[in-house]
Structure 1
């Protein structure tokens, strides 16, 4: 059997549009973090991987390998056909696992033996992770100014920023990357991202914005769900030019209702309330509980804004050393227009 040739992560990134990527790790590993554009053709399911790992620890490598062979053998024809079809669309096909070890080597060897030439990623996805960490450290050294959009909960900040992103402005959609809106209710209806997954998406976006002279972000806490923001973004937020969006209270209530869809995500909303309840005033918590029993979600949102989130965030805004530029708007379209007007005054316009 021919020796499987290896390819570096730098070469894979440089030729990404010409390379088909095959991730042979378990679905759980793939979901937590994978190279963008890769497809998952797993050797083991999540349960099978856990069983093999337990055998390795308790009975040793030989027994674990024997069991692994029994599990994988029936899957090989389907795996081969899946990879072969995928490979037709690319100049090269690269197989990877976690460290560039047995899993990817075994699959690449079989593919090559069957006449479908593949390469093995040197160092596995761990080499990609090292590249991301190194590049983020380099991005952290850049001295680009930040434009920060803040406002009370429901002020349509995210929608305004996403509209600006579509227009070509250098927006970092931190909540989108995190798969979380930031509060204890922030995961409702969303799929929270892992730290590695978030940093991969951030890395991709920062590479896209390499020529941008500044970044635009929403004012976020250091933690968004499971994700911790890099220190350079926190510093950018604290020292950036701030715009405070003022949005009508009832429209904020409506915006939150539409974003969280409480009738569709009733269980998740109530579960988040239970987690938060111990931090609430007992009388307030009881009033919210009564509204939950009546399924009066507009009242629940109004109560949380008036008695919890608005006081909480109004206090946080006072921690900044400088004043924000206030923009009173009544729609996303107006918010976008007002911000574009202000950015124009600062000569911060999107590149053509």
Structure 2
């Protein structure tokens, strides 16, 4: 018997052996439920052909042709990706609106004997839940933000914090972008809808009763926009400010951006996108430094002339309370582990309403116990 459901919390999704998206590959690529696999009952070309016939030709022929295609594709899935599934296999199936495509797959699965469920109203049900959580409702989580100038190791510190048991939200990982002019990653960014899906899934797996540490970002990470509910929570969240020596920041940037440094053309293109307020002579000099492979020297100059001034300007427009100031003497693994301990201590010692603007910095050097 085919069961219908609208329950998509992480526990409900994890209870299924597989979540099967039967939409076309193009629909799946734009966005899909986390963990879903794409077993389309019509591929992109078939869907377009059937749709064209339905609108411009014979609706009967469109349905008959589409049914034949769907039957062949389902058979291929049964003999291919689903061939090793036993009788207890419990899948959740969905399409765009929970209509003909998901029902066709579910009907065959039910006849096979699998206890199959169909997502009522399909992907649209998931999208409504994502939109409600990120656009219509306040975020329930208590956010703490790591702030600091470019190169201060905020993303690396998030990883170190997670290793020590903190709840973290890595926005740059979810957006597939390092959040700077040079931050593009191979493979590009997800669509805005897919980014929001990742955000909603990540937040839904975090405990709202415990603080969540995220990086202080601008409202956009690359081309992806932080949804309004999350941005509102970030705008009010207290920050933990990191102070890192310039030499450590330069070394960290050189290591973190080694991929773009190894691609002279990509590095040069990024430099040409610097804001116009920089003098042409300065940009030309930086491009020449990049061409000569003087990456550390280039990083130091960009910190001084571009990144730190921008960080100071942005800080003047924000009104976020400072929870703690942490001095990080180096960004090696031991230094990051010590910094994570300092941040964990700050989270434990201070309430979210603390306002210590003149707090003495915590020393997170490698020798910190």
TM-score range, shorter chain: 0.7 to 0.9
Answer with 257-266 or 25-34: which moved more.
257-266
Q: Does the C-alpha gap of structure 1 residues 44 and 247 become closer, same or farther in structure 2, counting only changes over 3 Å?
A: farther
Q: How many residues align?
A: 344
Once structures 1 and 2 are overlaid, which stretch shifts more, 79-88 or 126-135?
79-88
The 2-side partners of 1:65 and 1:299 are apart by: 65
8 A contact 2:98–2:123 mirrored in 1: yes
Residues 190-218 of structure 1: per-residue CA shift (max 9 Å, x gap): 64122222222222232222342433221
CA offset at residue 59 of structure 1?
4.5
Are residues 1:152 and 2:149 paired?
A: yes
CA distance in 2, matches of 1:257, 1:263: 8
Counterpart selection for 1:221 from 202, 218, 221? 218
Give CA-to-partner distance per residue, 1:308-348, whole Å, 9 cap, x none.
11211121112233664432212322321221232232168
TM-score normalized by structure 2?
0.80
> 1:22 maps to which residue?
20
The verdict on how the C-alpha distance between 1:232 and 1:138 changes in structure 2, with shifts beyond 3 A counting, is closer
The CA distance in 1 between the partners of 2:321 and 2:8, in whole Å, is 47
Match of 1:110 in 2: 108
Structure 1 residue 112: deviation in Å? 3.7
Match of 2:235 in 1: 238
Match of 2:339 among 301, 324, 335: 335
- The root-mean-square deviation of aligned C-alpha atoms, in Å, is 3.1
Unaligned 5+ residue runs, structure 2? 353-369
Aligned-partner SS, 2:118: strand
Which one is further off, 228-237 or 145-154?
228-237
1:53-92 equivalent positions in 2, closer than 5 A: 53=51, 56=54, 58-59=56-57, 61-62=59-60, 64-65=62-63, 68=66, 74-82=72-80, 84-85=82-83, 87-88=85-86, 91-92=89-90
Equivalent residues in 2 for 1:168-317 (5 A)? 168-189=165-186, 191-260=188-257, 261-276=259-274, 280-317=278-315
Cα distance between partner residues in 2 of 1:75 and 1:304: 54
The corresponding residue for 1:9 is 6
Q: How far apart in 1 are the matches of 2:36 and 2:73?
A: 19
Q: Which moves more between the two structures, 156-165 or 168-177?
A: 168-177
Matched, 1:346 2:350: yes
- Which secondary structure does the structure 2 equivalent of 1:171 belong to? strand
For the residue of structure 2 that corresponds to 1:140, the secondary structure is: coil
Q: Is the 8 A contact 2:106 2:118 kept in 1?
A: yes
- CA shift at 1:87, angstroms? 4.4
Which residue of 2 is the match for residue 162 of structure 1?
159
Q: Which range moves more in the overlay, 18-27 or 44-53?
A: 44-53
Q: 8 Å contact 2:242–2:327 — kept in the other structure?
A: yes
TM-score by length of 1: 0.83
CA 1:238–1:121 in structure 2 vs 1: closer, same or farther (change >3 Å)?
closer
